[in-house]
Amino acid sequence: MTIKAVLLDLDDTLWPVAPVIQHAEATLYAWMKDHVPKVVSSYDISALRSRRQALVVTDPRFSYDLWALRHRLLQDVFVEQGEDPVKADAAMAVFAAARNAVALYPDVTPALTELAKRVRLGTISNGFADLHSIGLAPHFEVSIAAHQFGCAKPDPRIFHAACEKLSLAPDEVLYVGDDLVLDVQGAQQAGLQAGWMNRRGLHSEHPHHAHIKPDAEFNDLHDLTQWL
């Protein structure tokens, strides 16, 4: 089946995400020192992270809506420490701005331009990065974020929704992402073809992933362009 569209993951596919999150959390914490000092006196960044992880299981929504999870955490600790919970809105604005200050992999912008000459492009992400703020939105015909859609990868519904927006059958679409389970296996189980973005040169033969066989493997988006 001819590939008519390529859907891309975002975090660790178009930019490295770990430094972005670290920077965003540090930026938020610096803001909190000035605006909610009682919270900072009781929690460091690590403690807030642990508290957030414990909060995930308290509401099914938090499994796919990472913005709501962080917002709820801030509200909870603000109230607990006698701070105004309304400040959580401003705090999340600070975090989101830093979250969108990504450093694209060097191949991304030129490769997207080349890819658009060959196929239709879209994105599916479990994160809440804003492609408009980042400046990549014009490259994509459709973009679906889990926190807005209502479920996250590897749920087949989020893959099917993107295909429906493109008016294409799943087997006409290639999904490319860095996570073998969420991206590759998830897309294949939804009927899409799946490419593994392996920028770090990992081995797919990990015992837990031996059963997952990508339809293709790429070191960067230029590899994807050549494969197409």
Token pair, residue 185, equals 């296996």
In the DSSP assignment, the letter for residue 139 is: G
The whole-number pLDDT of residue 210 equals: 72
The whole-number pLDDT of residue 163 equals: 98
- For the chain, list residues with pLDDT below 70: 1, 204-208
The whole-number pLDDT of residue 211 equals: 85
The whole-number pLDDT of residue 202 equals: 79
Indicate the residue type of 131: L
The whole-number pLDDT of residue 11 equals: 97
Compute the distance between CA of residue 64 and CA of residue 187 in angstroms, rounded to an integer.
17
Number of H helices, E strands in the chain: 11, 6
Indicate the residue type of 53: Q
Q: Is the pTM of this model over 0.85?
A: yes
Token pair, residue 191, equals 């009927």
Q: Which residues pair with 193 in a beta bridge?
A: 174
The whole-number pLDDT of residue 206 equals: 62
3-state secondary structure 169-220: CHHHEEEEECCHHHHHHHHHHCCCEEEEECCCCCCCCCHHHCCCCCCEEECC
Q: Is 142 helix (H, G, I), strand (E, B) or coil?
A: strand
